[in-house]
Amino acid sequence: MKKTLFSSLLLLASIHVQANDQLPGVDAFIDKMVTKHGFDRAELDNVFDQVDVKDAILKAISRPAEKSKSWYEYRNIFLTDSRINGGYEFWQHHKEALEAAEKQYGVPAEIIISILGVETRYGQHMGGYRVIDALSTLAFRYPPRSPFFTSELEKFLVLTEQEKISRLDPVGSYAGAMGLGQFMPSSYLAYAVDFDGNGYRDIWTNPTDAIGSIANYLKLHGWVPGQSIVHRTQASKPLPEAMLANDLKPAFTRQQLKEAGFSLSQVPAGDDVLSVVGLTQADGEEYWLGRQNFYAITRYNHSRMYAMAVYQLAQAIREKMDKTK
């Protein structure tokens, strides 16, 4: 009897209890983090035991896409007095950091500010989910995009180790985007910078680091210092199908655009290729010609409407700043 009881206890002791039974596959993930990155297994077991699976996240990620807004509807979300005034105030409070970023990376202050305004209203809305909950829920409970979010979860844990921050406390969006500029963990590792030199890359509570990180992101995605961004144009005849394909990357020579009937009167001289940006207004389509810097903004969010909102909000903030000098 004693021998049977002892054998049973040994068997129970040898069985590894899954860190969180709501996260299928988490043990294999922990194994990877231990062998690949040297994490402590017991510590990660404890972390994942505290993860909350959020049904709201699963509903948000799987919700059918709503009817896409036309440009004039989308524009009205971001081109508001409150966002323009907020950008102006942010500029006043962080002049030195913005000037330093513009000098080092070549990205104008108003573009950096505008991205912060579009993404989080200058830090007012950075998301309400713990990043560990968001990424774990999507990595282990949302099969269609599990590989992507599993990779982001891995990178999140790596960055918490590098920056010596809590694995449980950071908050972000339902998809795990973090901080003032809404960086995914992979973008944090690749592009976030310690812009104030205090030894940490803090994009949650340190606007200076957020400013430098956004500027660095744009620079490493092809920002050309001193070059313009996008210019209005008119089309004098029906457009070729190839120019309506919605490819964001600049691809058309100026000669091709002239032959297609586009006016280049507002485009600075140069030999760079351009993209055609079509946007729907209430009274019909309007056209713009985008340069490399417009494309760089679309690397932050792969949307021409996003990039145009950033551009036009930046112009409005710059105009208000210039008026008050």
- What is the reported pLDDT for 268? 96
What is the side-by-side strand order in the sheet with 230-233?
A: 230-233, 284-290, 275-281
Locus of tokens 């202050």? 109
From residue 313, alpha-carbon distances to 114, 139, 241 in Å are 6, 35, 30
- % of the chain beyond a pLDDT of 70: 93
Phi, psi (deg, nearest 5) at residue 280: -90, 115
Report the predicted TM-score, pTM, of the whole model to 2 decimal places.
0.91
Nearest to 75 by CA among 302, 307, 309: 309
Residue 263's pLDDT band (cuts 50, 70, 90): very high
Task: Taking residues 1-20, report their average pLDDT.
Answer: 50
Is 119 known to be catalytic? yes
In the chain, where the domains are located: 19-49+127-177, 70-125+194-223+305-325, 230-290
In single-letter form, the type of residue at position 89 comes to E
Task: Taking residues 4-33, report their average pLDDT.
Answer: 70
Q: Of these residues, 102, 119, 152, 154, which one is catalytic?
A: 119
Residue 65's pLDDT band (cuts 50, 70, 90): low
- If DSSP codes are grouped into helix, strand and coil, which group holds residue 313? helix
DSSP state of 164: T
pLDDT beyond 90 at 277: yes
Say how far apart CA 214 and CA 220 lie, in whole Å: 10
Strands 275-281 and 284-290: antiparallel
- What is the reported pLDDT for 232? 97
- What is the reported pLDDT for 112? 98
From residue 299, alpha-carbon distances to 124, 238, 311 in Å are 23, 29, 14
Which of 1-5, 65-69, 135-139, 162-166 is predicted least confidently? Answer: 1-5
Q: Which CATH superfamily is domain 19-49+127-177 in?
A: Bacterial muramidase (1.10.8.350)
Q: Can you name the CATH fold of 70-125+194-223+305-325?
A: Lysozyme (1.10.530)
Dihedral of CA 18/23/25/27: which sign?
A: negative
Task: Taking residues 141-148, report their average pLDDT.
Answer: 97
Say how far apart CA 8 and CA 286 lie, in whole Å: 75
